[in-house]
A and B are shown apart, each in its own frame.
Chain A
Amino acid sequence: MPIDLPTIWAGIIAFAVLAYVVLDGFDLGVGILFPFFPARKDRDVMTNSIAPVWDGNETWLVLGGGGLMAVFPLVYATVLPALYMPIIAMLLGLIFRGVAFEFRWRTQRASQYWDHGFWIGSTLAGFTQGIALGALVQGIHIADRQYAGGWWDWLTPFSLLTGVAVVVGYALLGACWLNLKTSGDIQARARRLAMITGVLMLVLIGAVSLWSPFINEAYFERWFGWPTAFFSAFVPTLIAACAFALWHGLTTDKHLQPFLAALGLFVLSFVGLGISFYPYIVPGSLTIEEAAAPDSSLQFMLVGALVLVPAILAYTGYAYWVFRGKIDPDEGYH
């Protein structure tokens, strides 16, 4: 694996996407779980648990988009047209859930409509992100540096499965977050939901993992061929370990452990995708090297990223620290 500028940047973009998926994943998950908490006061606590941090979480998505345009413009310019409809639907979903945070406090009468918007928007965003992932895994038809497929190429049984898998995964993260940040009845219900979504997620990880090697021979070779299979086998083993930690944490009333275990499941699934993709950035169509921007762009951005990303992690961590601990239902933020 050569350590050159494009590879470093592929790593940074991958990190930004992963950061987005786990961070916005838990706050989208809180929205996805809204129907299981119909009481207004429960929903107040749930939104208050993410109100101070959701905006920062979603900024990783903007970095993923803006960063991709900066360092892999060819990927940005081919993948987004290919995923036109899921991306537009995701943006509309994010609009509804983003404004619902503020709007639900600004009205008594229409509050429940914004709560519906929060739920539907969160679910739609997760579902379309999953579809986008599935469509990317299947491959995108590129010719002459442009997207050359049709407008419905993204819609397949496989992409629908990954869409459902991401919604379930986000719900698991959200349930584990609520288990960490709330107490009493909300926490008890969140724990039960975490058990259900945890089992579902493991089933879906299994289904997606078994299906994808048959989509593309390169994946099959990577996962079942020698010697790569020796390394790839670590991923399922560690997933099993995380699954155990999740179950153990939930059944012994641990608050932080289930959340960390769920994060672990996401990180490992993401690493699994990386193993499948490398050295491609768009499977079968564009390698990391082919898609990279000129070195002058990569260098210019890298100088900033090396200084700024650690700084961002530091003050984001500080913001989480400031709002640590259980949410007090009587201390609304609004």
Chain B
Amino acid sequence: MTFGMTAEILARIQFAFTVSFHFIFPAFSIGTASYLAVLNGLWLWKRDPAYLKLFEYWKTIFAVTFGMGVVSGIVMSYQFGTNWSAFSEKAGAIIGPLMGYEVLTAFFLEAGFLGIALFGRKRVGDGLHMFAVVMVAVGTLISATWITSANSWMHTPAGFSIDGNGTFIPEDWWAIIFNPSFPYRLTHTVLAAFLTTAFAVGAVGAWHLLRNGTNRQAQIMFSMAMWMAAVVTPVQIFVGDLHGLNTLEHQPAKIAAMEGHYETHQDGAPLILFGIPDDDAETTHFALEIPKLGSLILTHKLDGAVQGLKEWAKQDRPPAIIPFFSFRIMVGIGFLMLGLGLWSLVSRWRKDLYTSTWLHRAAVVMGPSGFVAVLAGWYTTEVGRQPYTIYGLMRTSDSLSPVEAPAVGTSLLAFIIVYFLVFGAGVFYLLRLMRREPVLDEDHELDKGPHRAAGITPGPAQENPIREGLPNAD
């Protein structure tokens, strides 16, 4: 089963496929873990059962997402060996310890405290339970740090030497971990994860508000999500710009591909809003350009020089079409996010945040936007690194295992079938969990009758049992 392709192409498709599936789960669980810590903290602080309900509500969704992230991540940790053994052998001494530290400092922390965070509130008490919830959140962030460092090193390698076998030898771990693109990439990635969660949470809140505008839990989650959208999106756009400047410094060919520039512009490059890059003809067809704006964005000068792809030999260039479009998708979504965030601020000021039907509809539509943006950004940077795995030093074609195409093709087919089956079901279950209205336990009894008026919370005398035990299969 080779589908007429070489082992290298099949292995690349397999990696792209498995990592894309994997990436969307942590992108969501990083933000959700922190959100759970905030919700649980608010519950302990204010003892408002709405926060407890929200914690329990998102906890279940987190558990399903986290499980899928774990199993799809184990695949990644072995795929470096099965399909990319030449890369692993040459760069394992550098990439391996970074991932090893991820396991030791993050994965065990998450896994060790996850059971207590999910199931242990009654057994350990509020304080230790809160500690466990925070440890899970911290674990996800530590994990993001190490894996982003490893990935950044492949883009901007530093702190190493190369021996006679062509093996990368670590010389300076500080320089390896804090390689030039790492701080930008880490900030950009973690903020992206937070925004992904914020827009997913906002969509769920909005969806329930459209059905029952008085549901206080839905109001709270919608409000929190819109604060995130309004505050974090501008920061993310700013950080993204810095990340782009860093890329221009270290990987100018990637920028040329993203911008669709084949020619070098010495005195001010235009910004190509839209076009169709053509690597064979070495031109971007149907280019819709704004003069000088490209240089203004990239060099912060109207007539700054911007290199085009023709500066590099053809075999050393990244393919332009994927970075060109994926970058535009990411940026476009970023500005839509900014728009929704600003809209929510206006709506908040006009005091119709919980009643503005159009805002809620827009928020529902924007629910998956974070996932799309994260993947689009990831494709931009990874395809833009081609034709190298370690930028400028090790080619993708030299990184492959001595595998035969049928073996890779068969495993690729198996992964595709299993992933669509398993993760398709998982997404279905997630959507079903999100469809449940977040009602307080007392509300269940009232569900059949008319809905309660807004804003009534149970008095202190009413006990709110912490129920984590009941199976909630439907």
Chain A, interface size category, equals 35 or more
Q: How far is the CA of A105 from the CA of B59 in the complex (A)?
A: 14
Give the most central of B113, B115, B116: most A CB within 10 Å.
B115
Instruction: Give the residue of A67, A316, A322, A331 whose beta carbon is less than 8 angstroms from that of B469.
Output: A331
Whether B368 is near chain A, meaning CB under 8 Å from some CB there, is no
Q: How far is the CA of A305 from the CA of B103 in the complex (A)?
A: 11
Whether A147 is near chain B, meaning CB under 8 Å from some CB there, is yes
Within 8 A of B (CB), among A205-250: none
Asked if residues B96 and A73 are in contact (CB atoms below 8 Å), the reply is: yes
Q: How far is the CA of A301 from the CA of B118 in the complex (A)?
A: 31
Asked if residues B108 and A297 are in contact (CB atoms below 8 Å), the reply is: no
Q: How far is the CA of A56 from the CA of B103 in the complex (A)?
A: 11
- Binary flags per residue of B222-245, CB closer than 8 Å to A gives 1, else 0: 000000000000000000000000
Instruction: Give the residue of B101, B403, B404, B429 whose beta carbon is less than 8 angstroms from that of A304.
Output: B101
Asked if residues A66 and B422 are in contact (CB atoms below 8 Å), the reply is: no
Residue of B nearest to A70 (CB): B96
A48 to chain B minimum Cβ distance, whole angstroms, is 9
Residue of A nearest to B71 (CB): A98
A301-B101, A323-B123 are contacts. A102–B64 as well, Cβ < 8 Å? yes
A85-B407, A145-B165, A308-B104 are contacts. A65–B78 as well, Cβ < 8 Å? yes
Q: How far is the CA of A304 from the CA of B113 in the complex (A)?
A: 20
Asked if residues B403 and A84 are in contact (CB atoms below 8 Å), the reply is: yes
Within 8 A of B (CB), among A245-295: 293-294
Asked if residues A294 and B170 are in contact (CB atoms below 8 Å), the reply is: yes
Asked if residues A107 and B88 are in contact (CB atoms below 8 Å), the reply is: no
Q: How far is the CA of A294 from the CA of B167 in the complex (A)?
A: 10
Q: How far is the CA of A98 from the CA of B110 in the complex (A)?
A: 16
Q: How far is the CA of A333 from the CA of B403 in the complex (A)?
A: 44
A152 to chain B minimum Cβ distance, whole angstroms, is 10
Asked if residues A95 and B473 are in contact (CB atoms below 8 Å), the reply is: no
Residue of A nearest to B159 (CB): A296
Whether B336 is near chain A, meaning CB under 8 Å from some CB there, is no
A91 to chain B minimum Cβ distance, whole angstroms, is 5
Q: Cβ of B115: which chain A residues have Cβ within 8 Å of it?
A: 51-53, 55-56, 319, 322-323
Residue of B nearest to A150 (CB): B404
B474 to chain A minimum Cβ distance, whole angstroms, is 7
A86 to chain B minimum Cβ distance, whole angstroms, is 10
Residue of B nearest to A148 (CB): B402
Whether B183 is near chain A, meaning CB under 8 Å from some CB there, is no
Q: Cβ of A103: which chain B residues have Cβ within 8 Å of it?
A: 64, 425-426, 429
Q: How far is the CA of A78 from the CA of B167 in the complex (A)?
A: 15
Give the most central of A94, A300, A309: most B CB within 10 Å.
A300
Asked if residues A95 and B469 are in contact (CB atoms below 8 Å), the reply is: no
Asked if residues B93 and A294 are in contact (CB atoms below 8 Å), the reply is: yes
Q: How far is the CA of A28 from the CA of B457 in the complex (A)?
A: 45
A66-B99, A316-B108, A322-B124 are contacts. A58–B81 as well, Cβ < 8 Å? no
Asked if residues B82 and A87 are in contact (CB atoms below 8 Å), the reply is: yes
Q: Cβ of A38: which chain B residues have Cβ within 8 Å of it?
A: none
Whether B387 is near chain A, meaning CB under 8 Å from some CB there, is no
A76-B88, A99-B71, A312-B112 are contacts. A297–B96 as well, Cβ < 8 Å? yes
Considering only CB atoms and an 8 Å cut-off, how many residues of chain B contact the other chain?
Answer: 76
Whether A5 is near chain B, meaning CB under 8 Å from some CB there, is no
Q: Cβ of B165: which chain A residues have Cβ within 8 Å of it?
A: 145
Instruction: Give the residue of B85, B116, B414, B469 whose beta carbon is less than 8 angstroms from that of A319.
Output: B116
- Binary flags per residue of B400-424, CB closer than 8 Å to A gives 1, else 0: 0111100100010011001000100
Whether B119 is near chain A, meaning CB under 8 Å from some CB there, is yes
A69-B88, A94-B74 are contacts. A63–B100 as well, Cβ < 8 Å? yes
Instruction: Give the residue of A99, A107, A147 whose beta carbon is less than 8 angstroms from that of B473.
Output: A107
Q: Cβ of A293: which chain B residues have Cβ within 8 Å of it?
A: 92-93, 96
Within 8 A of A (CB), among B178-198: none
B interface secondary structure, majority: helix
A6 to chain B minimum Cβ distance, whole angstroms, is 13
Asked if residues B97 and A70 are in contact (CB atoms below 8 Å), the reply is: yes
Instruction: Give the residue of A95, A107, A304 whose beta carbon is less than 8 angstroms from that of B75.
Output: A95
Asked if residues B85 and A78 are in contact (CB atoms below 8 Å), the reply is: yes
Q: Cβ of B112: which chain A residues have Cβ within 8 Å of it?
A: 56, 312, 315-316, 318-319
Q: Cβ of A77: which chain B residues have Cβ within 8 Å of it?
A: 81, 85-86, 88-89, 92, 401
Instruction: Give the residue of B71, B77, B100, B171 whose beta carbon is less than 8 angstroms from that of A296.
Output: B171
Whether B173 is near chain A, meaning CB under 8 Å from some CB there, is yes
Q: How far is the CA of A308 from the CA of B109 in the complex (A)?
A: 10
Q: How far is the CA of A96 from the CA of B89 in the complex (A)?
A: 30
Asked if residues A87 and B78 are in contact (CB atoms below 8 Å), the reply is: yes
Q: How far is the CA of A111 from the CA of B425 in the complex (A)?
A: 12
Known: A300-B173, A301-B101, A308-B108. 20 other contacts (CB 8 A): A52-B116, A55-B110, A58-B74, A59-B107, A62-B74, A67-B100, A76-B96, A77-B401, A80-B81, A98-B74, A103-B64, A105-B472, A106-B64, A107-B429, A294-B170, A297-B93, A316-B112, A318-B112, A322-B124, A333-B118
A-B contact pairs, 23 of them (CB 8 A): A52-B114, A56-B112, A59-B108, A65-B81, A70-B92, A70-B100, A76-B80, A77-B85, A77-B86, A79-B81, A80-B85, A84-B403, A98-B74, A99-B68, A102-B429, A103-B425, A107-B429, A107-B473, A146-B402, A293-B96, A294-B170, A308-B108, A333-B469
Q: Taking beta carbons and an 8 Å cutoff, which residues of B are in contact with A?
A: 63-64, 67-68, 70-75, 77-78, 80-82, 85-86, 88-89, 91-97, 99-105, 107-116, 118-120, 123-124, 165, 167, 169-171, 173, 401-404, 407, 411, 414-415, 418, 422, 425-426, 429, 432-433, 468-474
The 3 closest A-B pairs by CB, nearest first: A73-B92, A52-B115, A70-B96
